[in-house]
Amino acid sequence: MTASPPDGKDPGWLGWSIDAYAPDEMARRVETVGLAKAHQDTLVTFALAVVAGAFVALGSAFSTVAMADTGLAYSLTRLLGGMAFSLGLVLVVVAGAELFTSNNLLVMAWASRKIPLRRVLRNWGIVYVGNFVGVAITAVLLFATGHGAFGDHAVAAQAVATAATKVSRTFPEAVAVGILGNALVCLAVWIAFSARSTVDKIAAIMLPMTALIAFEFDHVVANMHYLATGLLLVHGAPEVIEASGRSSAAATITPAAALANLPPVTLGNLIGGGLLVAAVYWFVYLRPPHRPHLRRPHVRAQRRARGDEGVAGERRAGGS
């Protein structure tokens, strides 16, 4: 709601509002941001992508710690892990970074013909590589802290279990969880575009990200971290793996299996974010209207008002 203006003045009299942006306004904001991202300097884009990879890796690691040996029911453990996982996207959105999965929303600016396809693909390519670099650096740094041994090796047990789950998926399963996973990520970012404050953005992000982990859906950048952590533990700290009691699961985590997981999840993420979210909202709010009955109500009202003003002007001109 907005502050009530005195004497019926314009609601913007205080210069601020706590109303959320309406969906059609959100769509235009996403389109504008997409245009800026597509034309951003290459080095700046890459640097922000590395930062985003680090942010998501921190959120993924936080989630792993939160779910390690909680003693709680499965559902409550996943809920707790999802809330912790939200850290990654909160940092990306609030601090500012370039994340491959959320950048699938560039489809909206492309569909409006504001940017060419080559600009979209360029952005995605740079950001994907940058995210991978950021994840790799953060995973190595976390491994160097010995965090796998935390909680009497409970963190290592959880990390190995997560990585083993990722590599065990078939291609169709990985695509499916990728579709649903990035649909939630892009919905979180979409809702965040309705926000006017940092608190609003954090609140908007929390539930979709919690649901992603609760449902065990996949996010390719998070998977980069989970798989990198699993590989580092398996090949760099076998004694930790043995102490965690996850030796059999660890045997399934190989470099080949880890690399095989990324393409289907990436494909699923592209479909979930680019098609199910970006394309749908572009169709609803930004698509050029082809038939009069498809025009948005406020557009029709504005045109009627302009028509009435035109008629009134003609009458005044005729009477003078």
User: In the chain, what are the domain boundaries?
Assistant: 21-288
- Angle, CA of 141, 146 and 152, to the nearest 5°: 145
pLDDT (tens digit per residue) in 190-218: 999 999 999 999 999 999 999 999 999 99
Asked if 61 contacts 142 with a C-beta cutoff of 8 angstroms, the reply is: yes
Instruction: Tell which phi-psi region holds residue 288, choosing left (phi > 0), alpha (psi between -120 and 50) or beta.
Output: beta
Confidence of residue 237 (pLDDT cuts 50, 70, 90): confident
Q: Look up residue 6 and give its DSSP letter.
A: G
Q: Tokens 């999802």 belong to which residue?
A: 82
Instruction: Give the per-residue pLDDT at 295.
Output: 47
Place of tokens 């080949």: 256
Q: What is the helix (H) or strand (E) element at residue 230, kind and residue range?
A: helix 220-236
Within 10 A of 313 (CB to CB), how many other CB atoms are there? 10
The per-residue pLDDT for range 251-273, each reduced to its tens digit, is 899 999 999 999 999 999 999 99
CA distances from 15 to 2, 8, 121 (A): 11, 15, 39
pLDDT at 314: 46
- Separation CA 282–CA 278 (nearest Å): 6
What tokens appear for 259 in the block? 């690399």
Instruction: Name which of 271, 292, 318, 287 is nearest 24 in CA terms.
Output: 287
The model carries a pTM of 0.84
Q: What is the pLDDT of residue 250?
A: 83
Assign 50 a pLDDT band (cuts: 50, 70, 90).
Answer: very high
Q: Which residue has the higher pLDDT, 92 or 18?
A: 92
pLDDT score for 242: 83
Say if residues 246 and 161 touch (Cβ distance below 8 Å).
yes
- C-alpha 97/C-alpha 57 separation (Å) is 13
Q: Which two tokens stand for residue 234?
A: 């398996």
Name the 3-class secondary structure at 168: helix
- CB burial string 279-306: b at 16+ within 10 A, e below: bebbeebbeeeeeeeeeeeeeeeeeeee
Lowest mean pLDDT among 34-38, 66-70, 152-156, 291-295: 291-295
**Which range has the worst mean pLDDT, 3-12, 145-154, 184-193?**
3-12
Confidence label for 15 from pLDDT (cuts 50, 70 and 90): low
Phi-psi region of 16 (alpha: psi -120 to 50; beta: other; left: phi over 0): beta
User: Using CA atoms, how far apart are residues 164 and 169, in angstroms rounded to an integer?
Assistant: 9
Q: Which fold has domain 21-288?
A: Glycerol uptake facilitator protein (1.20.1080)
State the DSSP code for 273.
Answer: I
Determine the pLDDT at residue 306.
55
Q: What percent of the chain has pLDDT over 90?
A: 73
